[in-house]
Amino acid sequence: MNAPLGYIGDTPAQRLVPAQPIVRLEKVSKTFPGRDGQPVTALREIDLAVPQGSILGVIGRSGAGKSTLIRLVNGLEKPSSGKVIVDGADIAALPEAALRHARRSIGMIFQHFNLLSSRTAAQNIALPLEVAGFDKAEIRTRVEELLALVGLTDKRNRYPSELSGGQKQRVGIARALATKPKVLLSDEATSALDPETTRSILDLLARINDELGLTILLITHEMAVIRNIAREVAVIEGGRIVEQGDVFEVFTRPQHEVTRSFLADESGRALPPYVASRLQTEATPDSQAVVRIGFRGPHATDPVLARLARDLNIETNILSGSVDEIAGRPFGTLVVGVPEASLSTTLDFLKKHGLDTEVLGHVA
Amino acid sequence: MSPEMIRLIANSTGETLYMVAVSALIATLFGLPLGVFLATSAKGELFAAPWINRVLGVIVNATRSTPFIILVVAIIPFTRLIAGTSIGTNAAIVPLTIAATPFIARLIESAIREVDQGLIEAARAFGASPLQIVLKVLIPEALPGIVLGLTLAIVSLLGFSAMVGAVGGGGLGDLGIRYGYQRFMPEMMLAVVVVLIVLVQAVQSIGDRLARHLNKRIRHA
């Protein structure tokens, strides 16, 4: 698994240069001709910049336009308007032959792996090299390096039907890296895999990003993928990017409804059913306020409720909670019931301690 | 069965195999590129040429709807032009090839269409040209299906080749008509049928085996 990796040809010193966007989408729109003659707009005025060496995740529900977005980057789709710049070249304006050449520096992996069933693992990895016209000896050396990189040296002569899902995706990754690309596009690469395999594939992608300095643009509908490896995130909905920025910032202080809905899918963040069903908007004499407290970064481990009880003698009732990690930083959520009379004091106290609060409602 | 009869059957079997082999070979030579083109030239595909695709489709269908026995007669002038004669084994190869080519093209088209579109997308994504996609992705991936299609075509050609016997084409059909029917030799007719059954069985099981060997989608024990 831990094979030498120093072959992509950039030194650590080069990677420290301030990150220039290697992929840039400028006011990109895409319209498809619809079945009934009505054009369907998949993307509207998308602006997106993927800094060199970063991992940017685009998250969206199915039909949000994320598949179209990623296919614009390697020219599998042409934008209806706007520019797609990859490594300085306008992908949409390139003639076919030049586009094929440019695609060698843009690797792509797929949800369903898309491996040739008639070729072994090694032969699948060799295919882009054969297509690019490398000679046999070069191909053999390169394929061995790649098999070692993805930890499949002992499976080189297996056909895809003899490999597990995770192993197939490793072959897919090795194939995508064969021509030493600068950018890797990941199209729902872990969506067909179980959580444990997903984790190992994401670890591999993170390692490739770290050790080879490869820029990764991924699309997913899974929050776990973004949380585990992305550093930047763009949330896409109805063909528009509705929120974009540092993963921790976006997911700890979500501004848009869709972003919140992705967070709600996460365990511990949704209200428990017995609270949700009794939640009302107005306070009543015997109700308590339901407050969501977000603990970010350094505050995530503060014993703040204990202090609240000790310093102000306010007793809270814990309804649900979780402590998680987003982009490597701890992030906690706690939903508590607070006596109505102490609500404003409590909120002031929490804000003073640098915590995010949100009053969700009241329960009797 | 007399040694004479056995000699006749052996000769005719040889003629049949010759006609079928040569016409299958030539028909595949034409049918393979035609089938690949039919499978890849509809709107939005690799070699998109919807108009040519439609015209070729009509020609293929027209040829396939013409009853074989009528086709044999109808193209006699063309057969003379190619083979120098309209009678005999070599002459029979011309209509057999013409009938088999569109059939093989359709079988290959459907085998190619079975290939997962995701593979074409992956190949485009790593920079393969349309021709490279055909040669390195579509044909290798469709090969088990192509082999099964060709097996079916060869079995049909065995049947067709017996029909050209009716117009003096030689082979087992010819033998069956002349001896079995016209000279009232039911044992000869039976022998011809048995030989044809054995040939069909042999072709089919070889084809099945080859296709199974080529198909890596199934785990082999």
CA distance A329 to A322: 14
The pLDDT value recorded for residue A8 is 43
Q: How many domains does chain A have?
A: 2
Which residue of A117, A132, A178 is in closest CB contact with B216?
A: A117
The pLDDT value recorded for residue A143 is 98
Q: Are residues A345 and A229 in the same domain?
A: no
The answer to the question of residue B164 being in a domain is yes
The answer to the question of residue B17 being in a domain is yes
Interchain pair B127, A112: CB under 8 A: no
Does the pLDDT at position A301 exceed 70?
no
Which residue of B119, B140, B216 is in closest CB contact with A114?
A: B119
CA distance A150 to A171: 7
- Looking up tokens 């591999």 gives A204
The answer to the question of residue A167 being in a domain is no
Q: How many domains does chain B have?
A: 1
The answer to the question of residue B64 being in a domain is yes
Q: Are residues A193 and A229 in the same domain?
A: yes
Q: Which residues of A175-188 are buried (b: 16+ CB within 10 A; e: fewer)?
A: bbbbbebbbbbbbb
Edge-to-edge strand ranges of the sheet holding A356-363: A317-326, A329-339, A288-296, A356-363
- pLDDT > 90 in chain A, percent: 56
Q: Note whether A62 and A221 are within 8 A (CB).
A: yes
Does the pLDDT at position A6 exceed 80?
no
> Beta strand pairing status for A215-220 and A183-187?
parallel
Last residue of a domain, one of A263, A285, A307: A263
Interchain pair B128, A107: CB under 8 A: no
The answer to the question of residue B220 being in a domain is no
CA distance B146 to B142: 6
Per-residue pLDDT tens over the stretch A326-347: 777 888 888 888 988 888 888 9
The distance of B164 to chain A (nearest Cα, Å) reads: 39
In this structure, what DSSP letter does residue A112 have?
Answer: T
Q: What is the token pair recorded at A237?
A: 């909905």
> Beta strand pairing status for A21-32 and A40-51?
antiparallel
Q: Which domain holds residue A22?
A: 12-105+180-263
The answer to the question of residue A2 being in a domain is no
Q: Are residues A96 and A188 in the same domain?
A: yes
CATH number at residue A353: 3.30.70.260
Q: Note whether B35 and B107 are within 8 A (CB).
A: yes
CATH number at residue B93: 1.10.3720.10
Q: Are residues A86 and A60 in the same domain?
A: yes
Edge-to-edge strand ranges of the sheet holding A215-220: A106-110, A183-187, A215-220, A55-59, A232-237, A240-246
Interchain pair A117, B132: CB under 8 A: no
CA distance A337 to A319: 7
Interchain pair A110, B217: CB under 8 A: no
The pLDDT value recorded for residue A44 is 93
The pLDDT value recorded for residue A135 is 95
Residues of B in contact with A110 (CB under 8 A): 118, 121-122
CATH number at residue A233: 3.40.50.300
Which stretches of chain B are DSSP H helices?
Answer: 3-40, 50-65, 68-74, 76-83, 89-113, 117-125, 130-132, 139-164, 172-175, 186-214
Q: Mean of the pLDDT values across residues A123-149?
A: 97
Q: What is the token pair recorded at A356?
A: 């995010």
The answer to the question of residue B32 being in a domain is yes
Which residue of A100, A115, A162 is in closest CB contact with B129?
A: A100
Q: Mean of the pLDDT values across residues A74-81?
A: 94
The pLDDT value recorded for residue B139 is 97
The answer to the question of residue A134 being in a domain is no
Q: Are residues A201 and A302 in the same domain?
A: no
The distance of B167 to chain A (nearest Cα, Å) reads: 44
Nearest to B68 by CA among B145, B149, B213, B167: B167
Q: Mean of the pLDDT values across residues A271-300?
A: 82
Highest mean pLDDT (candidates A248-252, A261-265, B82-86, B145-149): B145-149
Q: What ipTM score was computed for the predicted complex, to two decimals?
A: 0.89
pTM: 0.85
Q: Mean of the pLDDT values across residues A159-181?
A: 97
Q: Note whether A224 and A267 are within 8 A (CB).
A: no
The answer to the question of residue B206 being in a domain is yes
Per-residue pLDDT tens over the stretch A200-230: 999 999 999 999 999 999 999 988 899 889 9
In this structure, what DSSP letter does residue B219 have?
Answer: P
Residues of A (43-82) whose Cβ lies below 8 Å from B = 74, 76
Q: Along the 221 residues of chain B, how does pLDDT read in single tens digits?
A: 789 989 999 999 999 999 999 999 999 999 999 999 999 999 889 999 999 999 999 999 999 999 998 999 999 999 999 999 888 899 999 999 999 999 999 999 999 999 999 999 999 999 999 999 999 999 999 999 999 999 999 999 999 998 887 777 889 988 988 888 888 989 999 999 999 999 999 999 999 999 999 998 876 54
Q: Are residues A235 and A328 in the same domain?
A: no
The answer to the question of residue A171 being in a domain is no
Per-residue pLDDT tens over the stretch A52-71: 999 999 999 988 889 999 99
Last residue of a domain, one of A263, A289, A320: A263
Residues of B in contact with A124 (CB under 8 A): none
Residues of B in contact with A107 (CB under 8 A): 125-126
The answer to the question of residue B221 being in a domain is no
Interchain pair A116, B119: CB under 8 A: yes
Measured between CB atoms, does A107 come within 8 Å of chain B?
yes
CA distance A318 to A309: 13
The answer to the question of residue B219 being in a domain is no
Q: Note whether B160 and B68 are within 8 A (CB).
A: yes
The pLDDT value recorded for residue A317 is 85
- For B135, name the nearest residue in chain A, comparing CA atoms only: A131
| pLDDT category of residue A277 using cuts at 50, 70 and 90 | confident
CA distance A15 to A6: 13
